[in-house]
Structure 1
Amino acid sequence: MMKAFFNLILLSILSFSAHATIVRGIVTDESGHPLAYASLNAKGSGKGTTANSEGRFQLELPAGSYTLICQFVGFTRQEKAITVTNTPLDVTFKMKRQETRMNEVIVRSGGEDPAYAIIRNAIKKRPEYETPLDSFTCEAYIKTLAKTRGLPKRILGQKIDDKDKQEMGVDSAGKGVIYLSESLTKIAFKAPERMKLEVISGRESGGGGYGFNFPTFIDFYSNNVTVITSQFAPRGFVSPIADGALKYYRYKYLGSFWENGMEITQIKVMPRRNYEPLFTGTINISEGDWHIHSLELQLTKESQLQLMDTLQIRQIHAPIAGAANVWRTQNQSVYYTFKLLGIDAVGTFLNVYNKYDIRPVFPKNYFNKVVMAYDTAVNKHPREYWDSIRPVQLEPEELRDYKVKDSIYKQQRDSAGSKTVRDSLRKHQGKITLPKVFYSGFSRSDFHPEHPTWFSWSGPLKMLQYNTVEGIVTNFQATLSKTWKPQKKYLSFTPHVRYGINNRHMNPWASLTYATLSEATEGDVQTAKNYWVLSGGKRVSQFNKAEPISPLLNSIYTLLEHRNYMKIYENYFTSLRFIKRLENDIRIDASVLYENRLPIDNTTDYSFFKKDRQFTPNYPFEQLSQQFTQHQAVVASVELQYRPGQRYIQYPKRKVAIGSKYPVLALAYTKGINSVLGSDVDYDKWRFSVWDDMNFKLLGLLKYRFNMGGFLNANKVAIQDYQHFNGNQLVLASQYLNSFQLAPYYANSTTASFYMQAHAEHHFNGLLTNKIPLFKKLNWNLVAGANAFWVNSNNHYTEIFAGLENIFKVLRVDVVNGYLSGQKGTWGVRVGFGGLLGGSININ
């Protein structure tokens, strides 16, 4: 659990290669304290390394004479002449703190600090330095480390026992390494915006993963800086040399020092206001050409940092050999601290960039839709390979972690299919108890390595419902599935039984799913290239197939508020659905459905409170004057989805889409087929949709969805086949961007030849609220938007809303005003999920 948790938080990149004699040593300050992650390189050779957290380093160089350069932010650069022979060479660097001297400076009128003139020059040069090369390649090494300093006894109610700690690799006090990985990647760039990554090798301690190997160039020449991942701060952070930086930062001249014949100015960077996406720390700028020489900058909660408590970034930049006046990042270290849900953790992302080639020759069509490709042997390299290419010496705890966890992993992998291990895994599933049978449910697997069988049971008490038609409703559901990994096939069977206590109706149905998987080791149908679903039986359905109200919420409102918003009918049905994902990322979803639709009426008026109210009829009474009559329907539908410009990551066994700058387009067509199998419907309807998220960084995130459609033919349309607009009459918010928070459920349903529907919401992500004292400390963010549909002048609706999200990282509260067909507006409050964690919760 914890390992997966940190896998969501961390993100990174890449590597280096070397051969011959080892040059090793340690970097300390004058008092002997190690300087963690100091940068070292052999002048003119293109070879370099980075010290580990104990200041120790090693570098492999061919025999010859070199000048070894050592750098650390805040310390004077040091050079040592060395001669490499066939025997290992030990080198020690004792670094002196940089002694900056205060030059005679001209103070402008008004007492402006001289740092401002230097920053203005750096800002002028920023566009030129942001993309100084038309093309280049380099290798990047990244080591990612996460360690816990303490764990709670429970996380989200789940107890952490000693066995859990042992599986995580921590001691009984909850301290230890929980994640360690290394990776080596080749980065290729071609102006203006083409980039491709080739992951050469990657490893994770105690697992068969590829490690973190995404690019982590923290580019301070960019106006808006992304640190590791936008999840830490969707708005990004303002660079200290951004075009508008002077509005956000104050600067102080700290002095200058000379290095390799160049004067370097040290400047203190200070935010003008707290709770803005801003850095604090020092940045060193070269005099005359105004490059970033090095920096040490921090982010905290007052910088609107999410998830992490603090981030400290150190970078050293250096000129690229053979390129006039071109500097690139030589090494980068990011140190973070993290406290959440009682978990106390720290870690590092360490990057070393090497082997820059500024005149690469790319093969034809090298830059394509695959922006990241993994070598087929990415995680197959032995320990000796990593010892030969690693530019950063491992620390003792990292050596132990690899040794212990890799040994355990190898043993588990080699014996995974053995009867002993399978018996142990089955035993670990625990006993089937009465509480599991009737409430929480359970699952079982035979853990076969090539064709596992899996069974799950859902506890009926957990699925209890109540409505005015069936009274108390019990549901029984189970799933039996089998995966054939070598053949990449998947089959599952899911039976359902629903019984209404009050009307004594039994509704059994089942579905059979067959899928061709995209990866042999996965049994998840969502990863399938294509799959078929055959369903049939007798079931209960809502008139609006989008199910705008959940059965659980309807049960609560029926019992407590005497409201029966959910309208349902029974149907004998058979359906066949086919979904296929093409290589060009077109998604085809086709289905054919037969229904024998049966009306059902209220059988009870019981509720706990407010019994003086009357329940409404069990049909969309806003559209029908009486209950519909039994009829049959054969309906065929097809939907095409396509996202232009989609980009991909090519793993050794599968290809995964990662998004595009263009929106998703969808076109759907539905046909009600008359007279076939006694069908009583005859209609044709269409729908075109477009949706996307647009991140404006400092200005926030805009999400939108637009639909248009209508009936081409409405000769015979049953109420179940109308165009329904998803309303909501509950305090709990319905699905954002797909519903109307104050609209009734069926009052506006239509068979019109044309309609339009639009949803838009803007997440300010701290903009504006960071000026309000309480909100900025709590990190509560403003969200606002509007929803609307138009059928005709007598049937249209608009609602506007504004609210706060990221409340306790999970909740969102909106105040909504709705205007139906020109009538006097109504207002209400809606509570839902939104924010850092809540935004990923699906509202149903």
Structure 2
Amino acid sequence: MRRYLPFVLFILTSLSVSAQQYVLSGLVTGPNNETVGFTSVYIRNSTYGTTANEEGSYQFKLSPGTYNVTYRFTGYKEQTESITITDHNEVHDVQLAGEVFKFSALSDKWKENLDPGDTIMRMAIAKRKQHLEEVNSYSCSVYIKAVQRLLSSPKSLTSKAVTQALDLDSNGRGILYQSELLSTYNFARPNKVREVTIASREAGINTAFDYSKASDLQVNFYNDVFKINGLSTRGYISPLASNAFDFYNYKLIGSTIQNGRTIDKIEVIPKREHGMYFQGSLYIVEGDWRIYSADLYLTNTMSSLNLVDTMRISQQYIPITDSVWMPAAIQFNFKGSVLGFKFGGYYEGIFNNYKINPKFPPGFFNGEILRIDTAANSKPSAYWDTRRLLPLTRLETRDYQKKDSIAAYKKTDRYLDSLQHEKNGINYPGYLIFGYDASSRDERDSLHVFPFLQTFYYNTVEGFGINAKVRYTHVIDDWHSYSITPALRYGFANKLFSANVHAEYLNDPFHNAKFYVDFGSDILDLNNVGTRSLYFNTLSTLLSENNYVKYYRSQFGGFGYQRELSNGILWMGGLSYASRTQLYNTAFGHIRDVKDKEYTSNNPKAPDDAPADDHSFLFPQNQALTFNTSVTFTFDQQYITRPTGKFNLPSKYPTLTLNYRKGINKAFGSDVNYDFASADISQNNLRIGLSGFSSFKLTGGNFFNHNTLYYMDNYHFLGNQGTTFDPTYIGSFHFLPFYQFSTGGAFFEAHYQHNFAGSILSKVPLIRKLKLEEVIGANFLTTKENPNYREFYVGVQRLIFRVDYGVSYMGNKKYLQGIRIFYGIR
């Protein structure tokens, strides 16, 4: 055995050396010794590489051996260096030569064509679908670096405290935010994605975009049209789209030879001054007619961008096999200004270790597009020092160190005590609209006081009243919490006092599961889907003598449960008992006496000429034991799994909901006896090419048994009366009376809305600067008692503001027409 010992030791030593990796680093400069930031650096004939940082420094780990390392950046000649790694770290600086594009011998045939750029792009577009579909699936590792900076700030708006807090220099410059992310990314055609975030780190406050997963950077110019999150509600036309010649002109700048391939540089020129078009350059490989690299940008002047003035997108493709090229690096670089503050930044994605057409196990793509590892946010600095692909600049290192120190200080008792005192202070203007929030130092206990606008009110049933409501929330751990919401209500005119409690217990955030309980007494709207808020009903009652909302009193108790049975299937069920009492108007005050205007009865079925103090009969005192259940199917439900739970994302397919409600007779003295079922199918933000997006909802139902039901048991609709309206829900009407169409029989309603997202008004000079979005829509409703009600409307919106003009018809007669306004308050 002894004679074999030296041999065994030699083998073990050799394996140890081969397993050891060393850092290859260096500086990339250009012909004038200028640093060349974001240069792609990769091992030739492999899928492993990195990118230099913005100062031209690069680094990555290699095992001992000899490598052909390729350095590539747009505007410079591609360069390959033979580098040997032995038993130590290696420093290798590179100076790139400037690229010279000209009509080479291999491109002489294009000289005969008057528009050689057009001819080349026709060849590339003809191959578009082939390149789009050449890979059925792949997996890779991804590193994403983000930096957001304040480039300059007006001194008049930058106090000493702000300068210190943001760590700005004398010119008002500094790093606002930076982050790093490591993940594995998996893709299968046509659009299946699954990503796992292994490590994530951030410092500062993100004030612009959040491209926190690899799929956010997947801009594929082989697609006809694609959307870039955050920039616009519309899509952008690719310069390689099948109909690209309707939107772009192309100019051949010249050609160059790179590793035996002829690369044509094509200038991309939009045919119109305004639209969702790119500008810049595409680099096309002759013969293969594929993208070698892209350097394209969007501008606010042309494309009406949100938040920024310019967004530049750069891509570098590398060959994975002889017939497959994939992106090695993708960069989003943006600049903008707000109120004199100029900012800029970038997101850089580096893609490594591609595996083409791997065999994923059955059920691998299950709708989970992103999973964040439980330890992803707790990696120490030493972890990042050994794994980051983009070296930190001196300023970035300093920024991390300072913000890490600040983060550590923010965990001290002294800071937490002062922070709690400060954040729990009341902001009176904020309380008026949004309410007041306070929390304990560890954030486990919190209190929300509902807004003033929902607390003090006036209506003709109760007169002036108080509706005091708070919500207390306690977080038990990352997966369990409960909230209790007590409410006290008192009407000074009818002298009715109500008190109730709503409580929820969230016990499984990974299946959207919760229990809820309600009990007490309250004054409720006869229309159970809602009419006007207390705030708007107070205004319309006091200022214009329009007491739109009709009330009744309920003493109730109930409980329920919901849970996601499987991904995309949510079940809900509940049982409630209530004693209901009819109410009448008792207050008739107003601020402004409107000529020829009187308050209406609190009985929505009373004649129009009924006096305000009308006591006509609507329903008797009754008791109701009611069972509700529903199942919602969200097709192709995609979601993100975080350590604290599952978060569903909007689906690109319609959602189907089946509802059933049973009025249980005789049990516990219950008077009701009915069976109701309905189904609705809906879809929000269905993208229609470049013309914006559509939303729709269709609902139909019937009472299959209606032996005994009372007015509040009817099926009600989300109508609207008054000038203001709420357009945030696609199932609402613009002019439909709140109570007239409520039915105890069969019904069908349909809603459709299309938002052109500025595709029309962006063509109008001056108006395009307002970035308005055009809206058209229609609503339809038919019941046995009121058939064939229709509404048609047009409108414009910007952020939370919207103005619509519409007209409605009841049967063959025009009913109402007018303007409806929304300004963010419901």
TM-score exceeds 0.5:
yes
1:120-153 CA-to-partner distances (Å, cap 9, x unmatched) read 0000011111122233222121101112235689
For residues 570 and 173 of structure 1, the distance between their equivalents in structure 2, rounded to whole angstroms, comes to 64
Among candidates 462, 468, 475, match of residue 470 of structure 1: 462
For residues 604 and 674 of structure 2, the distance between their equivalents in structure 1, rounded to whole angstroms, comes to 20
Paired residue for 1:44? 45
Cα distance change on mapping 1:507 and 1:25 into 2, 3 Å: same
Amino acid at match of 1:765: A
Paired residue for 1:737? 730
Matches within 5 A, 1:566-585: 566-585=549-568
Q: Is the counterpart of residue 619 in structure 1 residue 603 in structure 2?
A: yes
Amino acid at match of 1:41: Y
* Alignment check: 8 A CA contact 2:424 2:437 kept: no
Cα distance change on mapping 1:781 and 1:34 into 2, 3 Å: same
Paired residue for 2:671? 680
Q: Is the counterpart of residue 813 in structure 1 residue 803 in structure 2?
A: yes
Paired residue for 2:298? 299
* Alignment check: 8 A CA contact 1:494 1:510 kept: yes
For residues 375 and 485 of structure 1, the distance between their equivalents in structure 2, rounded to whole angstroms, comes to 18
Quote how far apart the aligned CAs of 1:816 are.
Answer: 0.9
* Alignment check: 8 A CA contact 1:672 1:683 kept: yes
Matches within 5 A, 1:137-148: 137-148=139-150
Cα distance change on mapping 1:717 and 1:430 into 2, 3 Å: closer
Among candidates 316, 334, 354, match of residue 352 of structure 2: 354
Cα distance change on mapping 1:640 and 1:167 into 2, 3 Å: farther
1:238-274 CA-to-partner distances (Å, cap 9, x unmatched) read 1111100000001112111111122111111111112
Paired residue for 1:514? 505
For residues 629 and 642 of structure 1, the distance between their equivalents in structure 2, rounded to whole angstroms, comes to 36
Quote how far apart the aligned CAs of 1:813 are.
Answer: 1.6
SS of corresponding position for 2:149: strand
For residues 552 and 647 of structure 2, the distance between their equivalents in structure 1, rounded to whole angstroms, comes to 40
Matches within 5 A, 1:627-776: 627-634=617-624, 635-693=626-684, 694-735=686-727, 736-752=729-745, 754-776=746-768
Q: Which runs of 5+ in 1 are unaligned?
A: 1-17, 520-527, 834-840
Cα distance change on mapping 1:189 and 1:723 into 2, 3 Å: closer
Cα distance change on mapping 1:765 and 1:77 into 2, 3 Å: same
Paired residue for 2:235? 236
Quote how far apart the aligned CAs of 1:729 are.
Answer: 1.7
SS of corresponding position for 2:813: coil
Measured on the aligned residues, the alpha-carbon RMSD in Å equals: 3.1
* Alignment check: 8 A CA contact 2:676 2:702 kept: yes
* Alignment check: 8 A CA contact 2:512 2:646 kept: no
For residues 271 and 743 of structure 2, the distance between their equivalents in structure 1, rounded to whole angstroms, comes to 55
Cα distance change on mapping 1:363 and 1:439 into 2, 3 Å: closer
Paired residue for 1:265? 264
Among candidates 486, 501, 505, match of residue 492 of structure 2: 501
SS of corresponding position for 1:232: coil
Identity across the alignment (%):
30
Cα distance change on mapping 1:55 and 1:138 into 2, 3 Å: same
Matches within 5 A, 1:18-33: 20-33=21-34
* Alignment check: 8 A CA contact 2:782 2:788 kept: yes
Matches within 5 A, 1:51-450: 51-102=52-103, 112-149=114-151, 175-205=173-203, 212-215=212-215, 216-227=217-228, 229=229, 231-301=230-300, 302-320=302-320, 323-340=321-338, 344-358=342-356, 360-410=358-408, 412-413=410-411, 415=412, 420=414, 423-429=417-423, 442-448=436-442
* Alignment check: 8 A CA contact 1:762 1:783 kept: yes
Quote how far apart the aligned CAs of 1:460 are.
Answer: 5.2
1:467-520 CA-to-partner distances (Å, cap 9, x unmatched) read 22222222222333333217x43333322222223333322222333332528x
Among candidates 812, 815, 819, match of residue 829 of structure 1: 819
Amino acid at match of 2:234: R
Greater shift after overlay, 643-652 or 259-268?
643-652
Among candidates 565, 570, 573, match of residue 548 of structure 2: 565
1:404-463 CA-to-partner distances (Å, cap 9, x unmatched) read 2223334545x5xx6x565444333455799999998644433347xx333343465762
* Alignment check: 8 A CA contact 1:800 1:817 kept: yes
Paired residue for 2:776? 784
For residues 261 and 430 of structure 2, the distance between their equivalents in structure 1, rounded to whole angstroms, comes to 72
Cα distance change on mapping 1:112 and 1:543 into 2, 3 Å: farther
Paired residue for 1:604? 587
For residues 146 and 287 of structure 1, the distance between their equivalents in structure 2, rounded to whole angstroms, comes to 37
* Alignment check: 8 A CA contact 1:182 1:212 kept: no
Query: Could you tell me the TM-score, scaled by structure 2's length?
Result: 0.89
Amino acid at match of 1:197: E
Query: Could you tell me the TM-score, scaled by structure 1's length?
Result: 0.87
Amino acid at match of 1:669: Y
Quote how far apart the aligned CAs of 1:761 are.
Answer: 0.5
1:769-827 CA-to-partner distances (Å, cap 9, x unmatched) read 33322333322122112110111485330111112222xx3322221111112213532
Paired residue for 2:12? none
Quote how far apart the aligned CAs of 1:665 are.
Answer: 1.3
Amino acid at match of 2:602: N
* Alignment check: 8 A CA contact 1:596 1:630 kept: no
Quote how far apart the aligned CAs of 1:377 are.
Answer: 3.1
1:42-83 CA-to-partner distances (Å, cap 9, x unmatched) read 323543221111111123223333333211111222233333
SS of corresponding position for 1:268: strand
For residues 202 and 401 of structure 1, the distance between their equivalents in structure 2, rounded to whole angstroms, comes to 17
Paired residue for 1:9? none
For residues 428 and 79 of structure 2, the distance between their equivalents in structure 1, rounded to whole angstroms, comes to 71
Among candidates 521, 531, 542, match of residue 538 of structure 1: 521
Cα distance change on mapping 1:434 and 1:72 into 2, 3 Å: closer
Amino acid at match of 1:213: K
Cα distance change on mapping 1:193 and 1:448 into 2, 3 Å: closer
For residues 164 and 135 of structure 2, the distance between their equivalents in structure 1, rounded to whole angstroms, comes to 49
Amino acid at match of 2:176: I
Quote how far apart the aligned CAs of 1:402 are.
Answer: 1.9
Q: Which runs of 5+ in 2 are unaligned?
A: 1-18, 611-615
Quote how far apart the aligned CAs of 1:627 are.
Answer: 3.7
Quote how far apart the aligned CAs of 1:175 are.
Answer: 4.0
* Alignment check: 8 A CA contact 1:105 1:114 kept: no
For residues 397 and 812 of structure 2, the distance between their equivalents in structure 1, rounded to whole angstroms, comes to 71
